[in-house]
Structure 1
Amino acid sequence: MDKIERFKIFCLVAEKQSFAKVANQLDLPRSSITYAVQSLEKEYEVLLLNRTTRKVNLTNDGVLFYQEVRQLIFQSEKLNQFKLQNREHVGQIRIGLPIRMATQYLIPHLSEFYQQYPKVKVLIHSSDDFSNLLEERLDCVVRVGNVMENHFIVRPIAKADLYTVVSKKYLSNNPHSIHIDQLHNHFIVGYQVENTYFGLSELVFQDRQIELPYQLVVEDTESYLKAGLQGLGIFQIPDFDAIPLIQEQELIRVLEEEKCLKLEINFLFLERKYRPAYFQYFIKWLESLLKNKLSNLI
């Protein structure tokens, strides 16, 4: 018998002014009803009920105790609504992921998830900076890139190559060949997610990094891709973004002789023992969606 049950029994005894009536109502031995009240009196070191052979009533302390306990019971019953909501799959999911992954993959297919769980709200925190699970109160994050934090639960989704690409417009405006030894004749599209700017930015490969000057620096992937397509410099994007544009002949892959940097794509979670069924389904659904989309492109 937990404490809330003992509180409820005490309140019934106070209201009916009888141990026997409460025992009959709950179909419990009278000794169980007596134990529930006595254990509360012992724990809180207070006499709650005056007992006579004919009547039971509250002491002065018992009246105050009864008022407080009724509030606790009310609050516990409100909290039990969460159990009901989870059984009915009512709730919300807060997820952080890169902007293009949100716009290109999650949002266009979210109606599929709602067919299974129409009462679940999904709150998307889309950002190209690393989302902070604690500060932004997120349930999970999709991270593209290595995970440095060791206090998160990491669940791998896939890996992607970082392609080096240019647009046709860039090639037509730059007569110099794009070779590793000729890069001093070229510009890069600068990309920076923090408010620190230098005169150079980097092309990043598996075995080395090469600094190049830029004419433009941006702070989000949509602007970065748009700048690259407008011919404002050499740039690097994950293969799942690059391949469709290469197939449509909007981009050309360059420096293929250099080994691509491998990008890890992971779910990140805080350590939690319990997750609602709708959340577990969402993660499996999104994982399957991303794996399917990425494998079809590569």
Structure 2
Amino acid sequence: MDYLTAVRAFVRVVESGSFAKAADSLQLPRNSVTKLVQSLEAHLRIKLLNRTTRRVSMTSDGAAYYERMSRLLEEWDEVEDELARARSHPRGRLRVDMGTTIASLLLIPTLAQFHVRYPDVQLDIGASDRPVDMVGERVDCVIRAGTVSDPSLIARQLGNLPQTTVATPSYLETHGVPTHPDDLETGHQLIRYTYAGSTRQLPIVLARDGQSVTVRGNHFVSVNDTSAMLAATLAGLGIMHGPAFITGRHVDSGALVQVLGDWQAPAVPIYIVYPANRHLSARVRVFVDWMLDLFRNSPYTLPPGPAS
């Protein structure tokens, strides 16, 4: 038995959901794929797949075997890829996860240029603000704001995100322009950010001349997604405190107005994170470099270093 080919056949059957599709993708006869998987099961002395006339599913042993072997195959392919091609020609699938606004406002507008430079890289982007299990979900890297304390992860700082407080002109015309953070406690509505999977809200702390004020205030709506937060603000539902890279374009256009400009919140550090024990492939390296350039060239972000 060609053990490596048998493992590839099993993994492809799992990922495609059928022996026929696996055979097509491997360019092998269907009966060859069937025999390869049967030989693999005989070699391991376990049943890997449950087969019916309508579907194929993994046994519990098959699921455990797939989890380990699919990763080994990826590493095998990466080693061969790096030996065969220079760093400037990475290839393969890259799984990344980031906040919705980072994806839509910073990364996606530049993907056409990324594709021209790296045409053989396939990007699978998870755009959400939820926590991600990098190992369990097999994500290559994530982009997240705030501190990273997990010792099993490597975090490389992309930059810092300055914060602004904004509202629509119509909202300010109706409710008045706040001149002190205390003004936000009465007579105003805030658009609050609530962490996904909890009821904990992102705090608003503003400082000036050594004085620090924590704003609690009232809110008509809270959201757990930054895109929704921006949409609610643009709809005139309240005052938003958030990253300038989200609001800056709308401030420049006049759709939003910055308030309390002399009251500042510390810029929030943002990192690209990947597992410390995982080989850093060429495609991850070029993606990290691409994101560093994006943050370096954005007018709404600050360079890496201590947040201030």
Query: Helix, strand or coil: the match of 1:102?
Result: helix
The structural deviation recorded for 1:182 is 2.2
Contact map agreement 2:192 2:221 (CA 8 A) in 1? yes
Which residue in the other structure is 2:214 paired with?
209
Paired residue type of 1:227: A
In 1: Cα distance, 2:76 partner to 2:284 partner = 19
Shift of residue 156, structure 1, vs aligned partner: 0.9
Paired amino acid for 1:186? H
1:247 paired with 2:252, answer yes
**2:100 maps to which residue?**
99
2:191 counterpart (189, 192, 196): 189
Amino acid corresponding to residue 282 of structure 1 in structure 2: F
**Displacement of 1:250:** 1.1
C-alpha offsets along residues 133-185 of structure 1, whole Å, 9 cap, x if unaligned?
Answer: 22322111111222243331111111121111111121122146443232222
Is this contact kept in 1: 2:92–2:120, CA < 8 A?
yes
Matched position secondary structure for 1:289: helix
Q: What do residues 266-294 of structure 1 show as CA deviations (whole Å, max 9, x unaligned)?
A: 11111136322232122112211222124
Structure 1 unaligned segments of length 5 or more: list them: 5-66, 69-75
Equivalent residue runs for 1:200-279 within 5 Å: 202-205=203-206, 207-272=212-277, 274-279=279-284
Unaligned runs of 5+ in 2: 4-41, 44-71, 304-308
> What TM-score, normalized to structure 2?
0.64
What SS does the aligned partner of 1:260 have?
A: coil
- Identity rate, percent: 25
Pick closer, same or farther for the CA change 1:139–1:258 going to 2, 3 Å: same
Displacement of 1:90 after TM fit?
A: 3.0
- Paired residue type of 2:194: Q
8 Å contact 1:202–1:212 — kept in the other structure?
no
Name the count of aligned residue pairs.
225
Which of 93-102 and 206-215 deviates more?
206-215
Matches of 1:116 and 1:185 in 2, distance apart?
A: 52
Following superposition of structure 1 onto structure 2, how do residues 120-159 of structure 1 map, counting pairs within 5 Å? 120-159=121-160
SS of equivalent to 2:119: coil
Render the CA deviation track for 1:213-243: whole Å, top value 9, x for unaligned.
1111222111110111111111112112222
Aligned to 1:283: 288
The code of the aligned residue for 2:191 comes to V
| Distance in structure 2 (CA, Å) of the matches to 1:142 and 1:167 | 29
Q: State the partner residue of 1:108.
A: 109
One-letter amino acid of the structure 1 residue matched with residue 130 of structure 2: D
Question: Take 1:260 and 1:251, find their aligned partners in 2: how far apart are those partners?
Answer: 19
Q: CA RMSD in A?
A: 3.1
The offset of 1:77, in angstroms, is 11
Q: Which moved more, 1:246-255 or 1:143-152?
A: 143-152
Partners of 1:96 and 1:126 within 8 A in 2:
yes
**3-state DSSP of counterpart to 2:249:** helix
Whether the 8 Å contact between 1:97 and 1:131 is mirrored in structure 2 is: no
Match of 2:298 among 289, 293, 296: 293
Q: Secondary structure at the match of 1:231?
A: coil
Per-residue CA deviations over 1:54-77 (Å, capped at 9, x if unaligned) read: xxxxxxxxxxxxx97xxxxxxx99
Q: Secondary structure at the match of 2:103?
A: helix
Q: What's the CA shift for 1:100?
A: 0.9
Q: Structure 1 residues 190, 259: CA separation in 2 closer, same or farther (over 3 Å shift)?
A: closer
**Do the aligned partners of 1:201 and 1:212 also contact (CA within 8 Å) in 2?**
no
Aligned pairs for 1:8-19 within 5 A: none
**If you compute each CA radius of gyration, which structure gives the higher value, 1 or 2?**
1
